[in-house]
A and B are shown apart, each in its own frame.
Chain A
Amino acid sequence: AQSVAQPEDQVNVAEGNPLTVKCTYSVSGNPYLFWYVQYPNRGLQFLLKYITGDNLVKGSYGFEAEFNKSQTSFHLKKPSALVSDSALYFCAVRDRVTGGGNKLTFGTGTQLKVEL
């Protein structure tokens, strides 16, 4: 079975400060990992993914994420937060050994609030 945990329901950060949104996962084999962002009343938008190779993955809008296999984590980061980054962020995982289609398991989401 595959699962994802986002331990923080909400993260508050001041504009210009670095931000981190945490994600840990559990899979049987090796994972594919994804981050999505959801703005109010909109669908989810893909930010970045880890498939293989370099543990630091760069994505859209200046976001990056670091894959840490020993800690089974995939935290989302940005060096300097913007007010416009305020949104709901979802981490998702797919276990490579699981058959039956490209099924993702999503975390419960973390609300990011960036304040002036």
Chain B
Amino acid sequence: NAGVTQTPKFQVLKTGQSMTLQCAQDMNHNSMYWYRQDPGMGLRLIYYSASEGTTDKGEVPNGYNVSRLNKREFSLRLESAAPSQTSVYFCASSEMTDRSEQFFGPGTRLTVL
């Protein structure tokens, strides 16, 4: 039981390049989330998927797109990376009930030059 896995662990991009961050969970959770973590700002929600087939914007969605590929997988795409997107990205999953805790992946450290 791996929990939440993310690939890659590290990535360096040049401004304007694109990439996709992958996330998968094996806990049969309905809901999945993408956050970014920046120093002094805590975690900010980028996008979430309450259940398979649905996605919604979070607090900071600009410059990102997501795909809920199936119940297990939720990817985050940067179409044209900018230096402001340098951050650590975390994927999380949870049961659909609003009292459920979220389980986090190990993170992807992204640097955009």
Contact = CB atoms under 8 A, between A and B. Distances in A.
Assign chain A's interface to a size class. Answer: 20 to 34
Contacts of B98: 32, 94, 96, 101-102
A44 B56 contact: no
B101 A34 contact: yes
Given A42-B106, A106-B42, A101 B101 contact: no
A43 B90 contact: yes
B96 to A, nearest CB: 7
A43 B48 contact: no
A106 B43 contact: yes
Interface stretch (A45-53, A65-73, A75-83): A45-53
Interface of B: 4, 31, 33, 40-45, 48, 50, 56, 58, 90, 92, 94-107
Interface of A: 9, 32, 34, 36, 41-46, 49, 51, 90, 94, 96, 100-104, 106-109
